Amino acid sequence: MPAASIVRAVMLPSAGFVVWAGHFGTVYAVHAHACERDMATSSLLGLPWVAVLVMGATCLALVVLALLFRRSWHGTRVGRRGASEAGEAEPDFTRWFGAAACIVAGFAVLFEAVPALVLPACR
């Protein structure tokens, strides 16, 4: 199996978890920066800037997860982009796991965004 298809076989099903990890890091980096610089009470567009950045990161993560879900759920057909080098379609388990990972990651993104939006940044 060529190296490119091995990377693809591993990265596509786990891409949802990578998006979740990126969102997790972004939320905590925004909060850490706000607390370190004593900017937790600053506002942007009339809202606390921490909440605005967390909402923006959450929306971006959910859009990316929706696109990844769509790509995983519909899969690939023989002859289309994403077929293996032998011309075979992706295995059903790979597509199913990628779609399930996006759903789980979507819930995880929401569960980490809600407390970040509701609670004050530096407590």
Q: Which tokens go with 121? A: 């940044």
Contact 106, 114 (CB under 8 A): no
Which of 112, 19, 15, 18 is CA-nearest to residue 73? 15
Q: Is the pLDDT of residue 19 over 90?
A: yes
Mean pLDDT, residues 12-26 taken together: 92
Residues 103 and 97: their CA atoms lie apart, in Å, by: 10
Sequence-separated (6 or more) residues with CB below 8 Å from residue 110: 58, 62
pLDDT, residue 118, reads 85
pLDDT of residue 78: 41
Token pair for 46 = 């009339």
Convert the pLDDT of each residue in 53-84 to its tens digit. Answer: 999 999 999 999 999 998 887 764 444 445 55
Global pTM reads 0.79
Would you state the pLDDT for residue 120? 79
Q: Which residues are bridge partners to 48 per DSSP? A: 43
Angle between helix axes 3-36 and 92-118 (nearest 10 degrees) is 0
Which is more confidently placed, 11 or 68? 68
Domain chopping of the chain, boundaries: 3-118
